């Protein structure tokens, strides 16, 4: 299965639309957003995802998501949030996945070495991490889709069969 992972989209309309069209073209099976959407109106752009992806669209909130009530109400129509909205534990393509916007590096490391999850996803730092640990665990930060801090707008596509992740520039 192919899982797209995106983070820190921060209302960047053009990059979101570009990412969505690549996800549709590449026929990914699922999408995980690692937080910092910012405004609920991003729903309008994510709504262009094909139906398969929309049925398998999961997200967590970030520290810049102020309007959580309305994000939950509007984006929540196509994106699955947990009750607290801050963490997700998912199973996709037979892989156990942990998602949070800004776990501390120590937490990510502890989760990775525990082998309790196959894939650990986070965002927030705007820095790409594409790492495969010795125990086969993937630790991924897709970087920033907005490109505001690094001038490099990216997201990731994970192939769960091969357990590799590709970074895609927008
Ligand atoms: Mn953040």
CB crowding 132-167: b at 16 or more within 10 Å, else e = eeeeebbbbbbbbbbbeeeeebbbbbbebeeeebeb
Banded pLDDT at 163 (limits 50, 70, 90):
very high
Per-residue confidence (pLDDT) for residue 66, from 0 to 100: 86
The CA-CA-CA angle for residues 136, 140, 143, to 5°, reads: 160
Q: What is the dihedral of CA 42, 43, 48, 53, to 10 degrees?
A: 110
Q: For residue 103, how far is its CA from the centre of ligand 1 (angstroms)?
A: 10
Q: What topology does CATH give the domain 2-169?
A: Purple Acid Phosphatase; chain A, domain 2 (3.60.21)
For the chain, percent of residues with pLDDT exceeding 90 = 99
pLDDT at 86 over 90: yes
Per-residue confidence (pLDDT) for residue 60, from 0 to 100: 98
Distance CA 123, CA 61 (A): 10
Per-residue confidence (pLDDT) for residue 143, from 0 to 100: 98
Q: For residue 102, how far is its CA from the centre of ligand 1 (angstroms)?
A: 7
* Mean pLDDT for the stretch of residues 141-170: 97
Per-residue confidence (pLDDT) for residue 94, from 0 to 100: 96
Q: Which residues pair with 95 in a beta bridge?
A: 92
The CA-CA-CA angle for residues 27, 80, 86, to 5°, reads: 120
Per-residue confidence (pLDDT) for residue 157, from 0 to 100: 98
Q: For residue 137, how far is its CA from the centre of ligand 1 (angstroms)?
A: 23
Per-residue confidence (pLDDT) for residue 7, from 0 to 100: 98
């Amino acid at each position: 299965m192919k899982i797209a992972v995106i983070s820190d989209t921060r209302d960047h309309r053009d990059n979101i639309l570009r990412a969505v069209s690549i996800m549709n073209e590449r026929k990914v099976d699922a999408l995980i957003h690692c937080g910092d959407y910012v405004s609920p109106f991003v729903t309008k752009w994510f709504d262009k995802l094909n139906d398969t992806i929309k049925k398998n669209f999961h997200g967590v909130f970030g520290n810049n998501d102020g309007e959580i009530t309305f994000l939950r109400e509007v984006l929540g129509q196509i994106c699955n949030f947990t009750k607290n909205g801050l963490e997700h534990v998912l199973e996709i393509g037979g892989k156990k996945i942990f998602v949070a916007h800004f776990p501390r590096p120590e937490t990510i490391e502890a989760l990775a070495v525990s082998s309790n999850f196959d894939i650990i996803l986070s965002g927030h730092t705007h820095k790409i991490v594409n790492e495969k640990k010795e125990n086969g665990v993937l630790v991924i930060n897709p970087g920033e889709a907005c490109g505001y801090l690094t001038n490099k707008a990216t997201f990731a596509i994970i192939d769960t069969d091969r357990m590799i992740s590709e970074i895609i520039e927008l």
